[in-house]
């Protein structure tokens, strides 16, 4: 069964709605001040407390913030870090007891480039490359290339992101067969504010695609 991550949570009611929709994981963005979905570390920690057991929490952040905020990070209830930057994933696993996801904006049509970057990480998240943006572009990914990447990095799990919506996630799952799918802007009313109906539809259609 494909897993579903809903990312960019900023409000308690959206966290609860994502959980009720059946999300396997919810994501919180910290350390990207230009993003409308960015929250403080303290706010992310409070939002994570609204996530019940058996639903994973993902901190989407940078190496710089990790270096600055390690004491605060140790107090948070998180299961995964989606890491932008050059921190050692093994250090994060031992210091914070988390799994580490490598985000990778696909710049070329050679899946070997992605495969070289996956060593040491617990999962690999594909995204669409846009100049000047680290990730979360909202642009549709090249699914044929993502399929090649999934096959190249196996058995490392691949998370498919990039422009996914309730309308296209079913086709994306059928074509790429990822371990998980990830959506943020595609399930929103406005930047940072989730659409609860869209989240329910996204989860449902992702799951239906592999029945």
pLDDT for the residue 131: 54
**Mean pLDDT value of segment 126-152:** 75
Which range (6-10, 29-33, 93-97, 106-110) has the least confidence?
106-110
- In the chain, domain spans: 3-208
pLDDT for the residue 22: 98
Write down the architecture of domain 3-208 according to CATH.
Answer: Alpha-Beta Barrel (3.20)
**Mean pLDDT value of segment 197-204:** 98
Catalytic residue check, 7: yes
**Mean pLDDT value of segment 191-209:** 97
- The more confidently predicted of residues 47 and 117 is 47
**Mean pLDDT value of segment 138-152:** 87
pLDDT for the residue 83: 94
Catalytic residue check, 146: no
pLDDT per residue as tens digits for the range 63-108 = 999 999 999 999 999 999 999 988 889 999 999 999 999 998 876 6
Of 14, 24, 127, 182, catalytic: 127
SS (H, E, C) the chain: CCEEEECCCCCHHHHHHHHHHCCCEEEEECCCCCCCCECCHHHHHHHHCCCCCCCEEEEEEEHHHHHHHHHHHHCCCCCEEEEECCCCHHHHHHHHCCEEEEEEEECCCCHHHHHHCCCCCCEEEEEECCCCCCCCCCCCCCHHHHHHHHHHHCCCCEEECCCCCCCCHHHHHHHHCCCEEEECHHHEEECCEECHHHHHHHHHHHHHCCC
pLDDT for the residue 45: 97
| Residue 135 pLDDT class (50, 70, 90 cuts) | low
């Amino acid at each position: 069964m494909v897993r579903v991550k809903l990312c960019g949570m900023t409000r308690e009611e959206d966290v609860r709605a994502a959980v009720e929709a059946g999300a396997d994981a919810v994501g919180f963005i910290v350390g990207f001040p230009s993003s409308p979905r960015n929250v403080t570390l303290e706010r992310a920690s409070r939002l994570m407390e609204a996530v019940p057991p058996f639903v994973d929490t993902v901190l989407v952040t940078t190496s710089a913030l990790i270096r600055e905020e390690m004491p605060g990070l140790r107090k948070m209830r998180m299961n995964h870090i989606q890491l932008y930057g050059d921190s050692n994933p093994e250090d994060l696993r031992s210091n914070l007891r988390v799994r580490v996801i490598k985000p990778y904006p696909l710049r070329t049509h050679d899946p070997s480039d992605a495969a070289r970057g996956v060593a040491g990480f617990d999962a690999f998240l594909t995204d669409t490359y846009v100049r000047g943006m680290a990730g979360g572009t909202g642009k549709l990914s090249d699914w044929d290339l993502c399929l090649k990447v999934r096959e190249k990095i196996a058995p490392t799990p691949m998370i498919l992101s990039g422009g996914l919506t309730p309308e296209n996630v079913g086709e994306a799952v059928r074509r790429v067969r990822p371990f998980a799918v990830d959506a943020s802007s595609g399930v929103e009313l406005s930047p940072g504010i989730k659409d609860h109906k869209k989240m329910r539809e996204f989860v449902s259609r992702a799951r239906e695609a592999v029945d």
